[in-house]
Amino acid sequence: MLNQVILVGKLVSNPKLKKLKDSRSQTVIYLEIKRNTGNSIDGEADSNTIPCILWNGIAEQTVEHCQKGSTIGVKARLVDKEAMLENGELLIYTEVIAEKITFINAKSDE
């Protein structure tokens, strides 16, 4: 079995490093990925914004070398999570956990 996702896109905001109480580092990046096809309204390319969670060294390097507009590649795995909502419903969602980052165009001036 294989659980691997490859994403290439641009950061929509500057990544910020968070230090956790257990001394791990984390950042969540938001990767804009444009589709090859235009939408039916104005012909512009549609895009998706995918949140990706980065830990420790990968998180630290990304914060150091990237900013809004940087183009990066992400090799990741998907992890299913569950959360109980206030109304008692169970929410099941998927997280993208980065395992490797490739800096394609790390710093961007936009």
Total domain count, the chain: 1
64 within domain boundaries: yes
How many angstroms separate the CA atoms of 68 and 38, rounded?
24
> How many Cβ atoms from other residues are within 10 Å of residue 105's Cβ?
11
CATH number of residue 97's parent domain: 2.40.50.140
Indicate left, alpha or beta for 49 from its phi (over 0: left) and psi (-120 to 50: alpha). beta
Question: Which tens digits make up the pLDDT trace of 81-106?
Answer: 999 999 999 999 999 999 999 999 86
The whole domain housing 80 covers: 5-105
> How many Cβ atoms from other residues are within 10 Å of residue 34's Cβ?
12
pTM exceeds cut of 0.85: no
77 within domain boundaries: yes
110 within domain boundaries: no
Contacting residues for 11 by C-beta, under 8 A, at least 6 apart: 29, 30, 31, 32, 66, 67, 68, 69, 70, 72, 108
Confidence of residue 36 (pLDDT cuts 50, 70, 90): confident
pLDDT at 19: 94
DSSP state of 4: -
